[in-house]
Amino acid sequence: MHITFIATRKNSDPAERELYEMDFLLRILGLKRCFVDLGLQTIAACTPPGVEMTLVDEYSEEIDYTAPTDLVALSAKTSCVTRVYEVARRFREQGTTVVLGGIHATLRPDEALEHVDCVVTGEAEQVWPQVVADAQAGKLKARYDTGDYPPLDQIPLPKWPTGRAKRYLFHQIQTTRGCPFTCRFCSVPDISGQAFRFKPVDRVIAELRALPKTAASPLLAKRPLYVVDDNFISRTKYTRELLEAMVPLAQAGELPPWSAETTLNVAQDDALLDLFRDAGCATLIVGIESISQATLEAMAKGINFCMTYQDAIARIHDRGMSVVGNFIVGFDTDTRAVFKDTLDFIQETGILYPFFSILTPMPGTALFDEFKEAGRLDHTDWARYDTRHVVFEPRLMRRDELMDGYIWLYEQAYGTGLMLDRLDRHWRRKSSDGGAHTGSPWTERAFVKARLLPEMARGDAELRQLYRQSFKVLSQHKGDAGNLLTMLDSYDFVRFMRRYRSEKWEDNLQTFTEAPAQPGPTDDNLTAPQWHNEKAKRRSARL
Ligand code: B12
Ligand code: SF4
């Protein structure tokens, strides 16, 4: 029995650029991809012994549709499923059996069955050996549903054929699954459940020790680690124990710089924040989502009133960690002022890496059902459910205003002096925090500059100016070249996104830049920002 696991491209069009895929940064570092989806790696590890396996990563190699294999295994999120269906069709035309698992198949199994031979729903660690046994016996069923969530202490270490580690930017690890909250735009409660599950601390430590030590490039002597948990602090007692166990590893230099996604309440707890710092956390990824009180309330994101945003971010910065702030625009409570107001907030707080998404009603969420019922969904072309297209009718602005506002916000945050201003402030903070400054050695800075110079020579005046100023700030601070590259990656994304500007771009632009900060077209309470919320202010004052 031979199974071919295929990590497909995210898109049918190879020229497309994906949010979060860091194409530019990878190109500069000479790497192929950020990482391969952990879901496929985990299922590969659950395959019974004696079964031959091949992994094809479409970002590194062409798919050979004629290579002999008994089963092709695919995985997809909603935005990637269109490409996966194409790949499935090509294999099935050759008579090869195709099985699909992952998030979209879990949310839309009947649709998926129109494209593949077998659909596996849910977290498939426990059911996968049965799927393989049935396939071997020629008795593969069309559908396998994983009823229960597997206990995380029983799942195997993710498996990957050796020798490939050099192609990827990040290490990945998962320590917990599930999130106790139910934000209306988020698929996590449907996919991973609200009950919290965790890997035993000693098991996580063993996984950390087992991470491949190979450097990815001269700049990445230590490949950064990305903790993929939905909410790393779902249960703080566990998080605390885990961080305490990580501290000695970090102090011994055995941990790469790492980042994890958490809810904002991480900042309420001084001792916990200190532990994050001591355990080597470089970046906290925080779901800020919106600066508007009304939006947070409408989306059931009450956890964000745990303190004022400004205080929360300052407390993280005080520990020398940077913040990835995830923002969503296009909520029913968002007016055209949301773009400028969000930008002002980002500059005020100095969030280093703001990432923006257009509200996207993902199948399975309360938001999807509500929009569908109201006839507000434009289509179900899943490839455009990637959070950088408008797929529904917004309430307080037009579709083109939402799209242009999104691009404008990205452009402002990364395409101008504002980006360098945040970087400058970040490096100043780092050098004033008691000698813990972790800038790159000159060799790394020289490597990055050497890689960027040809890009600069090919670029236009705007790009050349930004690069020139970037080099200046980098040398001034002897800063971390990784910070700069990550920001330039977002700048590259901005340039890519310009092709999506609407025909009304020029007119719309005026309204973003000239609109009074608080136009209040319908409702006074739409204009109240998070930091005016009484609960948030009271809690901040208590800290
Ligand atoms: C890490 C992560 C990322 C990473 C890495 C993505 C990647 N390529 O792996 C980054 C930051 C790049 C990312 C980007 C995006 N993400 Co994301 N991300 C996640 C997160 C937090 C964890 C995913 C993970 O690694 N889980 C761990 C593995 C082990 O679990 P798993 O993949 O679900 O696999 C299990 C099962 O699904 C199944 N399975 C999976 N594959 C297969 C295959 C077979 C054959 C079988 C049998 C079973 C099977 O078994 C596995 C083991 O239990 C999830 C949240 C979540 N809980 O899923 C969101 C999530 C998947 N992301 C989401 C979204 C929307 C995005 C983006 C579109 C943009 C955005 N604004 O966030 C982009 C899209 C990028 C892209 N083109 O792929 C949504 C997806 C919703 C949906 N309906 O598709 C989620 C659910 C978050 C949310 N808040 O709703 N993401
Ligand atoms: S806190 Fe984060 S992971 Fe949890 S439901 Fe809300 S958006 Fe999803």
In ligand 1, which atom is closest to the CA atom of 150? Answer: 53
- The answer to whether the beta carbons of residues 422 and 351 sit under 8 Å apart is yes
Its domain, for residue 83, covers 2-145
Whether 491 is covered by a domain: the verdict is: no
Residue 523 clears pLDDT 60, i.e. is over it: no
In ligand 2, which atom is closest to the CA atom of 182? Answer: 5
Judge if the beta carbon of residue 123 lies within 6 A of ligand 1. yes
Strand ranges in 209-277 using DSSP code E only, listed in sequence order? 225-227, 258-262
In ligand 1, which atom is closest to the CA atom of 34? Answer: 12
Token pair of 92 as six digits: 């099935």
Residue 20 clears pLDDT 80, i.e. is over it: no
- The answer to whether the beta carbons of residues 474 and 445 sit under 8 Å apart is yes
Say which ligand is closest to the CA of 10.
1
- The answer to whether the beta carbons of residues 46 and 124 sit under 8 Å apart is yes
Q: Which of 200, 199, 182 is nearest to 191 (CA)?
A: 182
* Cα–Cα dist 264/423, whole Å: 22
Ligand 2: residue whose CA is nearest its atom 8: 186
**What residues pair up with 327 in beta bridges, in sequence order?**
289, 356
Whether 80 is covered by a domain: the verdict is: yes
Say which ligand is closest to the CA of 229.
1
Judge if the beta carbon of residue 358 lies within 6 A of ligand 1. no
Length of the chain: 543
> Phi/psi zone of residue 73: left (φ > 0), alpha (ψ -120 to 50 degrees), beta?
beta
What is the total count of domains within the chain? 1
Could you report the per-residue pLDDT of 2-19, keeping only the tens digit for each?
Answer: 999 999 998 888 888 877
Residue 283 clears pLDDT 70, i.e. is over it: yes
Q: How many CB atoms lie within 10 A of CB 95?
A: 6
Whether 29 is covered by a domain: the verdict is: yes
Strand ranges in 338-394 using DSSP code E only, listed in sequence order? 353-358
- The answer to whether the beta carbons of residues 485 and 25 sit under 8 Å apart is yes
Q: Which of 378, 375, 428, 436 is nearest to 402 (CA)?
A: 378
pLDDT computed for residue 433 by the predictor: 63
If you write DSSP's letter for every residue of 279-331 in order, what string do you get?
TTEEEEEEEEE-SBHHHHHHTT-GGGGSS-HHHHHHHHHHTT-EEEEEEEE--
* Cα–Cα dist 302/182, whole Å: 10
pLDDT tier at 327 (50, 70, 90 boundaries)?
very high
> Residues 17-45: what's their mean pLDDT?
88
Say which ligand is closest to the CA of 119.
1
Could you report the per-residue pLDDT of 190-241, keeping only the tens digit for each?
Answer: 888 888 899 999 999 999 998 877 666 666 667 899 999 999 998 899 999 9
pLDDT computed for residue 509 by the predictor: 92
How many percent of the chain have pLDDT more than 90?
Answer: 73
> Residues 517-527: what's their mean pLDDT?
57
- The answer to whether the beta carbons of residues 281 and 246 sit under 8 Å apart is no
Whether 102 is covered by a domain: the verdict is: yes
Average pLDDT of the chain, as a whole number? 91
Whether 30 is covered by a domain: the verdict is: yes
pLDDT computed for residue 221 by the predictor: 65
**What residues pair up with 446 in beta bridges, in sequence order?**
none
Q: Fill in the amino acid letter for 149.
A: Y
Task: Tell me the best of 231, 234, 360 to mutate to test the pocket of ligand 2, counting ligand atoms within 8 Å of each CB and taking the most.
Answer: 231
Judge if the beta carbon of residue 22 lies within 6 A of ligand 1. no
Could you report the per-residue pLDDT of 45-81, keeping only the tens digit for each?
Answer: 999 999 999 999 998 889 999 999 999 999 999 999 9
Whether 434 is covered by a domain: the verdict is: no
pLDDT computed for residue 18 by the predictor: 75
CATH classification of the domain holding 118: 3.40.50.280
Please state whether beta strands 176-177 and 258-262 pair in parallel, antiparallel, or not at all (unpaired).
unpaired
pLDDT computed for residue 440 by the predictor: 81
Poorest-confidence range of 5-19, 84-98, 269-283, 449-463?
5-19
Q: Which of 54, 58, 71 is nearest to 8 (CA)?
A: 58
Q: Which of 286, 330, 331, 334 is nearest to 309 (CA)?
A: 286
Q: Which of 91, 23, 12 is nearest to 381 (CA)?
A: 12
Whether 12 is covered by a domain: the verdict is: yes
Judge if the beta carbon of residue 38 lies within 6 A of ligand 1. yes
Token pair of 446 as six digits: 């020289």
CA of 38 to the centre of ligand 1 (A): 8
* Cα–Cα dist 39/146, whole Å: 14
Task: Tell me the best of 56, 157, 187 to mutate to test the pocket of ligand 1, counting ligand atoms within 8 Å of each CB and taking the most.
Answer: 187
> Residues 363-373: what's their mean pLDDT?
94
> Residues 458-481: what's their mean pLDDT?
93
pLDDT computed for residue 219 by the predictor: 62
Burial 193-221 (b: 16+ CB within 10 A, else e): beeebbbebeebbebbeebeeeebbebbe
pLDDT tier at 187 (50, 70, 90 boundaries)?
confident
Judge if the beta carbon of residue 71 lies within 6 A of ligand 2. no
Whether 495 is covered by a domain: the verdict is: no
> Residues 104-120: what's their mean pLDDT?
97
